[in-house]
Amino acid sequence: MMYSACTPAAAPLEVRGAAQPAFAVGLRARSGRDFEGNGEPSLDELMGDEVIRRVMARDGVQADQLRSLMDHMRNRLR
């Protein structure tokens, strides 16, 4: 069982089929301008995301607990 858990079921090319260009999004490839400033979403934006909320619920993480942890770590890093 450990062997099957550590070994991919199929080679990546078999799964993907034809190779896709790097950073392709739909039919448009991302340009360097898309990443100017290395902007990151705010914590409020992340916490408002449906996928994030579902993962947190699955993992039993409460939003107020996460915000408290983030505040604590922010204060420690100052």
Structure confidence at residue 7 as a pLDDT band (50, 70, 90): low
The helix (H) or strand (E) run that includes residue 5 is helix 2-6
Q: Model pTM greater than 0.75?
A: no
Q: How remote is the C-alpha of 25 from its chain's centroid?
A: 16
Name the token pair of 26: 């739909």
* Amino acid letter, residue 16: R
Instruction: Please give the Cα distance from 21 to 58 (Å, whole number).
Output: 34
pLDDT for 41: 87
> For residue range 40-63, what is the model confidence (pLDDT) as tens digits?
888 889 999 999 999 999 999 999
Which pLDDT does position 30 carry in this prediction? 57
Cα distance between residue 51 and residue 57, in whole Å: 10
Please give the pLDDT value at position 55. 96
CA distance 65 to 62: 5
